[in-house]
Amino acid sequence: MASEIAVDHRSEAYALLQQDADKILQLIKVQMENLTMPQCPLYEEVLDTQMFGLSREIHFAVRLGLVDEEAGREILESLEKELSALHEATMDAK
């Protein structure tokens, strides 16, 4: 029973971190489509702040034992790849 609860907490923590990564991606998509160019300091500030916040969330979850370090790294790397592809697509379209 206790191990089932631990697995539930781990699954929930991972899902929440992934949701936060998805929200960052969506925020950046909206910003790039409607508000600013990727070279804009505001864009960079939002991106840096959001990525830093997510990395701290992941670090906290890892320290609690809710997410293993590799899974946390994969969330960040996946988001970075998606953001890079989005940036390239936006720059190619302009």
- Domains of the chain, by residue range, sit at 2-93
Superfamily in which the 2-93 domain is placed by CATH: SO2669-like (1.10.287.750)
Task: For residue 73, give the amino acid letter.
Answer: R
pTM of the model: 0.82
- Give the whole-angstrom CA distance, residue 21 versus residue 7: 21
CA–CA dist 7, 67 (Å, integer): 10
40-50 pLDDT, tens digit per residue, is 777 788 889 99
The per-residue pLDDT of the chain, averaged, comes to: 86
Arithmetic mean of pLDDT, 62-84: 94
What are the pLDDT digits (tens) for 1-26?
Answer: 656 666 688 999 999 999 999 999 99
DSSP 8-state class, residue 38: T
